[in-house]
Amino acid sequence: MLESRSTHSQVLLVDDDETGCTILALTLRRAGVKNVHTISDSRQVLPFLKEHGAALVLLDLVMPYLSGYELLSAIRCDYPYIQVVVVSGADDLGKAVECMKLGANDYLSKPFEVSRLIACVTNILASCAMQSDLLSLKRRMLENTIDYPIAFEAIKTRSSKMRALFQYTEVVACSTQPILITGETGVGKELVAHALHRLSCVAGQMICINVAGLDDATFSDTLFGHTKGAFTGAESAREGLVARAAGGTLILDEIGDMDERSQIKLLRLLQEGEYYPIGSDRLHKTTARVVAVTNQNLRERVTEKQFRKDLYYRLCIHEIHIPPLRDRYEDIPLLLEHFLQEAAQAYHKKPPSVTVSATSYLLGCCFPGNIRELKAMIFDAVARNSEADLTAQSFGGSAGGVTTVLGEVPLSNNILHEIDAIFGHFPTFHEIQSYLIDEALLRSAGNLNVAADMLGITRQTISNRIKSSGSPVKTTKSKVLSKPTT
């Protein structure tokens, strides 16, 4: 379990009236504000802030020892990032103006409307959370750091795109807002959802449900539960998955295929945090954070009138889009090694070696099924393999053009310098592959068969690569890599 990463998220109530302070704290907790602390002795405020910090201080003005004015000035001086709202029994415009000049965010006169207090507190906390997220994301991007790599240990990658995705996931993990995870089938959306739950450090459990194909009645019963006698056959009450995910994470998979009537109920759950179990007239509150997962383009679904626009905008406050495998070819050798070990263990075999032609063939595939498809290909190849090296044929490639490697030859400094000169940096597998295919097409005047023979791969592999990149076939000569001079 990762340690909690919520810093400076507390709301601190400061009032010498202990009874009033306790009532105010209970009111805020009922409204969904979790971290509420109370202090009745004004002398304890500054030491508390020094040790624990806070996002917001609700401050009374007239108190023994240190007045609200003194505390407000001290907080503004020593903790400028902490927001302060003055709550006073004096309905005095002059005092309100004075407090605002000292740096207070708002001034509430007692007695005040509870709805105004709750709106004031929630708006300030939302603003603080957004600012904290932006600063955290900026720091991670500038420093290129991942604070909790253990949360992503199940995801095998060396892609810079995935690293940026991990950084963003760490930033939004503690947000109470819904999170939308998108990406093609087989890219690993479930693994990112698990990492998100692990990073959030919530006390509750993670509950997953696939909502595709559920009619409205089944959706309501599954998520919200029912009371005894709510319908024929309801012999006892049953809590829904929303209740089971209290204080945790509720993952709704295949959200793009949800029934239209169910979309309305989900929208209410997200907006108000409220729901009614079937057969009950008692309103229930939820503390579960919702993570929606889909392989569909929800913008297109909205345009086609298949998905509610208001629900889409409620879901996409934080969107994590996972790139397809064809956009991160540098992961293929790493995934190949990982799945070879898994497959060998599953079939009680020794992990087979892989020829260069086999790796080249896999690097040339588009993988519409992404990582799931690659894994299936590797498991099938290992299952059918009989102590021989895996070739392109093992993965469905043709027998022609197999490359033979005579032995390992260490790269000289001249060759390394030549590579750096071409690419401007040490290249990835994807960059080398693109360069070699382009060079082969140039030298063969765009003839795919000749280019495939030169590279020792199939014609289809080159064709797939051209289609995935959207680049036209090059048939004119460009600069060709010359042999290093000695």
CATH number of domain containing 341: 1.10.8.60
Q: For position 420, what pLDDT does the model report? A: 63
Q: What CATH number did the domain enclosing 449 receive?
A: 1.10.10
Q: What is the largest CA-CA distance in the chain?
A: 90
Distances (CA, A) of 344 to 87, 336, 386, 436: 67, 12, 12, 32
345, 366, 395: which is the final residue of a domain?
395
Task: Please check whether residues 391 and 357 belong to one and the same domain.
Answer: yes
Residue 483 maps to a domain: no
Which pLDDT does position 101 carry in this prediction? 84
Q: For residue 200, give Cα distances in angstroms to 90, 197, 225, 424.
A: 41, 5, 26, 39
Which residue, 260, 257, 254, is CA-closest to 292?
A: 254
Domain end position, chosen among 295, 323, 351: 323
Q: What is the pLDDT of residue 324?
A: 95
94 and 214 in a common domain: no
Number of independent structural domains in the chain = 4
Predicted local confidence at residue 222, as pLDDT: 94
Give the helix/strand (H/E) hosting 6. Answer: none
In a domain, 476, yes or no: no
DSSP 371: H
pLDDT for residue 312? 94
Domain assignment present for residue 454? The answer is yes
> Are 345 and 317 members of one domain?
no
Structural domain includes residue 200: yes
The verdict on residue 477 lying in a domain is no
283 and 162, same structural domain? yes
Whether 6 maps to a domain, the answer reads no
Predicted confidence at residue 418, as pLDDT, reads 61
Q: Are residues 263 and 378 in the same domain?
A: no
Statement to judge: residues 160 and 279 lie in one domain:
yes
Q: Are residues 315 and 339 in the same domain?
A: no
- CB–CB of 474/441 below 8 Å? yes
Q: Which domain holds residue 422?
A: 413-469
Residue 218 CB: number of other CB atoms within 10 A? 13
480 belongs to a structural domain: no
Number of H helices, E strands in the chain: 19, 14
Are both 307 and 339 inside the same structural domain?
no
* pLDDT value at residue 240: 93
Cα 25 → chain centroid: 32
What global pTM score does this model have?
0.63
Domain end (from 276, 306, 323): 323
Report whether 150 contacts 3 (CB < 8 A).
Answer: no
Helices 18-30 and 114-143: crossing angle in degrees, nearest 10, is: 70
Instruction: Mark residue 269 as left, alpha or beta (left: phi above 0; alpha: psi -120 to 50; beta: remaining).
Output: alpha
- CATH number, domain at 210? 3.40.50.300
Shared-domain flag, residues 199 and 264 = yes
In order along its 486 residues, the chain shows pLDDT tens digits of: 444 444 446 889 998 888 888 888 888 888 777 788 999 888 999 999 888 888 899 988 888 888 888 898 888 888 888 889 988 877 677 778 888 888 888 888 877 788 888 888 888 887 877 777 676 666 666 667 788 899 999 999 989 899 989 989 998 888 888 999 999 999 999 999 999 999 987 888 999 999 998 999 999 999 999 999 888 888 899 999 999 999 899 999 999 999 889 999 999 999 888 899 999 989 998 889 999 999 999 999 999 999 999 999 999 889 999 999 999 988 998 999 999 999 999 999 999 999 888 888 888 888 999 999 999 999 999 999 987 889 988 998 755 443 333 333 344 445 445 666 667 677 787 788 888 888 888 766 677 877 787 788 888 888 888 777 665 555 444 443 333 343
Tally of CB atoms within 10 A around 406: 5
Shared-domain flag, residues 286 and 337: no
Q: At a CB cut-off of 8 Å and minimum separation 6, what does 266 contact?
A: 252, 258, 311
- Clarify whether residues 165 and 288 are in a common domain: yes
